Chains A and B, each alone.
Chain A
Amino acid sequence: MTSQNIAPQQQTCAPRPTARTSRRWAWGLAGVATLTILLGVVAMQMVPASAASTRPAPAEQTPSNAACFACHATPGMQTTLASGEGLYLTVDPQVYNDSVHGKMGYACVQCHTDITGYPHPALTAPTHRDLTLELYRSCQACHPTMFQEVLDSVHQKALAAGNTDAAVCTDCHGAHDVQPPDEPRSRIPKTCQKCHSQIYDQYKDSVHGAALIGDGNPDVPSCIDCHEVHSVQGPSNSPFRLFSPDICAKCHADSTLMAKYGISTDVFRTYVADFHGTTVTLFQAVTPGQEPNTPVCIDCHGVHDIQNVNNPDSPVIKHNLLATCEKCHPDATTNFPASWLSHYRPTPQHAALVYYVNLFYKSLIPTLIGGMGLFVVLDGFRRIRRHRRGQNDE
């Protein structure tokens, strides 16, 4: 308190650094330093706002982790659940101590809240999965915000609908071996792979996936950049598809990012200007709950298997384009794909006919309407003049 009170004084005295004022300076600096440290401490307390704020410090927990590990470090320790499924009871202390929670010194019983000593309450969950579905709720105590987001996710909706395969916290993050989920970033798709292996197989060979998994490219999207993390939405039961062009535009309309790879940022603008994109834009603005009847980016470029447009396997490379058009236009013939300008702005070199039609009207409209306007304005002035003169004559 004292040092904080002194701190403002040093400002008034600052212009004349005498011996006394320099002592005040020292006090002031000390005050500022104290204040900074205090603020820092407060800030550090606030940073993990969702974590650890609602739980007592690890040291107060009983039984201690040492007590738990006294038994549960024993290799091969297992029990049998009511369904006959085996369940390992062993936790490798080294694995736990290396986990994010272990490093912070959190206690086993902060998650295993039903354990207060020995003997333990009987395991009532008949299967391994049932036990997971009981235990993952512990995450909520320290991570309420994320837990709340998860409640809106497609996984929780599936779970609520009775699909017990739907992922819960520990399915993605692990239980005793929780590690930072994005270190390295390529860990993210590998986490999703556990349940979505077919999608992973497509993603890993895509232009985005190969760059992330192979080269550790920090710019390409992982799963969660498109699907969100805890509030992950299903592409089939939400306006996900309708608004998906905006997801692509997050990167593909970013000129700084695209310049790095020599990719045009016109793609979004030219899409919106075209029939398909115009339609989608109006669906977004007017009827966001309805499924648009025109394609979004992924319908032509592919979803998880999206390729570089110059890749011979790309669905939008010239020799594959007709087949791609035929998905929705089954009667399309050879000339039809050229009716789509491939995200190019019309120029004399590319889509010359469109370019010259535009040029024609861009010249004609101002000339014609300007001429009409001039004629009309002159006529109007003359009439007004004549009208006034007529009045004067009377």
Chain B
Amino acid sequence: MMSEPRYLRFPLAYRIEHWVLTLSFTTLAITGLVQKYPLNSVSQSIVGVLGGIVNTRTVHHVAAIVLMLEVVYHIGVVGYRVFVLRVRPTMVPSLGDVRAAWGTLLFNLGFTRDHPAQGRYGFEEKAEYWAVVWGIAVMAITGFLMWNPIASAKFLPGEFIPAAKSAHGYEALLAVLAIIVWHIYHVHLRNFNKSMFTGYLTEEEMLDEHGLELADLQAGRVDAPLDAPVRRSRMRVFVPVYSIVAVALIIGIYLFATFEQTAITTIPPAEDVVIYAPLTATPFPTALPTQTPSSEKPTTWDDGIGLIFQSGCIACHGSASSMGGLSLGSYAGAMRGGSSGPVIVPNQPDNSELIRLQAAGGHPGQLSGDELQYIREWIDNGAPEK
């Protein structure tokens, strides 16, 4: 049995274009939609895998540049076919496509018995191709506004930037949904079309999807090959024109990506303030003035000895709080002594506990040398009250 005839549908260059588009589109869709839905946990996981939102945006931008370069190349391919080869336009929509779409709908609804036959590109493919053209145009324009908001706002009201962001996000959603519903159905579900992998369709597939093209091919109605001199003369015009267009577009893409430095990279401090600025500390007050010593040497409790005890001792050994049971607030208290016995023994200063303790030094209410001397002499004189 002879092998089934097959028909070349997509040469390798077409297939490469398609896969560059697929790769850049998918990358853009993933890295873009995660930004449209940042609260979604799947979005956050994807951003995590990509190493954070800054990386995600870089990937998005790189994919955008790849897609734009693919557009520049595609313009060349189309230009070559239209201006040099001057082949029949197979992708241009026509009334025939509307009829084919309507006919398909009627057929699907069971109103007609025959499915309309279509040419090289069916209405499904033309719709998708031109949707991609429209989508890329919208995405490029709105993408430029978002990538260069300051430059854009020099010529446009600022509101165009958030409007562009909205359109960019919705257009992306539309494109992704269209791919899922339209492309996946027509190319993968209806009949797994392998021509974008192998380049070829079988005769049965051609009959089913491109009946008119198959009839043309079988009848030998194909574009006549171009004469070499004609081709050369057309190329002399096409090559320089396309070169200028391509260079202009590539410069445009370069500017697209580098036109402005939108923001500084590090956020400046939110406020300029000295963090540690203590209120002026309360200075340590100067010491209290010392008691002016009396000019006369005190000899009795009443004429000064009592005052010495009053100023130096009664904080602890006063009537209110008598530490050690000792109150030096009054003559009687002083002579009574403390819980461990008398502290003043008249006429015997060396046997008086008060003198012994004060002479040793270091007592909290330490008396001065003069004061201690007066008290010693007072005790020596019998510690008189008056």
Contacts and interface: CB of A to CB of B under 8 A. Distances in A.
B321 A69 contact: yes
A199 B275 contact: yes
A278 B110 CA distance: 50
- Report the contact-size class of chain B (Cβ under 8 Å from the partner): 35 or more
B189 A372 contact: no
Contacts of B34: 282
Given A303-B271, A368-B178, A336 B158 contact: yes
Interface stretch (A40-48, A175-183, A373-381): A373-381
B162 A354 contact: yes
Interface stretch (B169-177, B331-339, B341-349): B169-177
Interface stretch (A16-24, A98-106, A130-138, A323-331): A323-331
B224 interface: no
Interface string B169-197: 01101100110011001100110000000
20 contacts: A70-B323, A71-B315, A73-B315, A77-B315, A85-B284, A165-B276, A274-B162, A275-B165, A292-B267, A298-B270, A328-B264, A332-B153, A333-B150, A335-B153, A339-B160, A346-B162, A361-B173, A362-B170, A369-B177, A378-B108
A198 B267 contact: no
Given A67-B323, A303-B271, A328-B267, 5 more contacts: A195-B277, A282-B56, A286-B52, A333-B154, A341-B162
A382 B108 contact: yes
A53 interface: no
Contacts of B173: 361, 365
Nearest to A330: B264
A380 B279 contact: no
A-B pairs with the 4 shortest C-beta distances? A338-B158, A361-B170, A339-B161, A70-B321
Nearest to A341: B162
A103 B268 CA distance: 49
Contact of B287 (A67, A78, A274, A346): A78
Interface stretch (B9-17, B242-250, B255-263, B293-301): B255-263
Contacts of B153: 332-333, 335-336, 338-339
B160 A353 contact: yes
A15 interface: no
A161 interface: no
Contacts of B157: 335, 338, 353
B275 A196 contact: yes
A196 B275 CA distance: 6
Interface string A70-86: 11011111100000011
B315 A339 contact: no
Given A365-B174, A379-B104, A302 B158 contact: no
A125 interface: no
A299 interface: yes
A73 B321 CA distance: 11
A293 interface: yes
Given A197-B277, A365-B170, A86 B284 contact: yes
A336 to B, nearest CB: 4
A286 B47 contact: yes
A119 interface: yes
B384 interface: no
Interface string A151-191: 00000000000000100000000000000000000000000
A250 interface: no
Nearest to A302: B271
B316 A304 contact: no
Contact of A331 (B104, B150, B185, B316): B150
A330 B260 CA distance: 11
B44 A285 contact: yes
A207 interface: no
A295 to B, nearest CB: 6
A332 B163 contact: no
